[in-house]
Amino acid sequence: MGPLVVLVVTLCSLTGVKHDMTVLEREAVFQTGAGSETSEVEARRGEVVCGYDFHNSPLDFTRFLSAYKTMGFQGTALGKAIEVAKKMRQWRDPDDPEVRCTIFLGYTSNMVSSGCRELIRYLVERKYVDVLVTTAGGVEEDFIKCLQPTHILSQPPKGDNSGDTLRSLGINRIGNLMIENANYCQFEDWLMPILDDVYKEQIDNQNTVMTPSKLIDRLGREIDDPRSIYYHASKNEIPVFSPALTDGSLGDMLYFHTFRCGEGDAESGITLDIVRDVRKLNSIAVKSKATGMIILGGGVVKHHICNANLMRNGADFAVFINTGQAFDGSDSGADPDEAVSWGKLKGESRGGQFVKVCCDATIAFPLLVAGAFCDRV
């Protein structure tokens, strides 16, 4: 007897009302229905909810990841994300099996500040992704880590980690991470001579056009460090787009560099052509037979990838991992269903497969990579 039945029977008992309910009366109260209504219920039943059974010994990591599909809530969303990412990798053009799905990977700067940097580097080194889109911080933090490490911010036995205290110590906080001012000074010492060379090339040859993606490729070659994402991107000819390259320390350095070129004249300094980059990015999407989007975070990165796929009337696959909320417009580039309305993502009626995982990407992304891109699992 279900809880609602018990409630009705109890109420009848307390009020002295006869409670001999017929089948039809029960159906009227609880709307259990039959026939077509029952088939409607059946159509909505997915897999049975069940978590991983840790009685199995030793731990079977493949089955552990697979169990997320039936976990419920965001665990199920993560399980679906792994499946969608696998389909991106497995897609082949029916007419030419050599043609694969073009995978766009986008991420905000904090992903590179965190340990997700090593996962992104793995995907780039193995050529599992085809296009990168990130912010200025997502570029510079990678190079800075080649020069000096980023640390977890610890709480000292005596003292505080307030903004004022950290500022006085020359420490910049990113959540529970810390980057010292000295790291940025070292980055400036490494970067400025490269910018000098780029500027000289533009002065000597007026036909030399530098774009943000070309500059990032140049820096990837210059760093010459296999720990770097962009070292491998340059080596594997994977383009890296940063539509807001001036919004970060790199932009500060480009600003400072203008004062080394023509005494701070507003017309002096390196010229970067962003129009050529947006044409290049959009053209990659348009010319692809199928596209997939994996986007960590939101903002300009997310929208830039989605908008490029608008040019081809929508991506075929998408995995969004962020904690942005759509109700106030904070989920930049839209949640998947809203993106369908813009034509940035193909709807299910057109074969589109997509999911949003509402989770800290430092938790979800490693599991996604392990489940969809680590062939040894």
Q: List the structure tokens of 205.
A: 């040859």
Q: Within a 13 Å sphere around the CA of 136, how many CA atoms are in the beta-carbon half?
A: 11
Question: Going by DSSP bridges, is the β-strand pair 151-152/177-180 parallel, antiparallel, or unpaired?
Answer: antiparallel
Contact 340, 296 (CB under 8 A): no
Distance from C-alpha of 204 to C-alpha of 210, rounded to nearest angstrom: 13
Query: Could you say which of 80, 302, 344, 346 is catalytic?
Result: 344
Q: Is 344 a catalytic residue?
A: yes
Q: DSSP assignment of 139-191, as one string?
A: HHHHHHHHHS--EE-PPPSSS---HHHHHHTTEEEETTEEEEHHHHHHHHHHH
Q: List the structure tokens of 292.
A: 């997939």
Q: Phi and psi (nearest 5°) for 290?
A: -150, 145
Contact 280, 239 (CB under 8 A): yes
Q: List the structure tokens of 350.
A: 């057109």
Q: What residues act catalytically?
A: 344
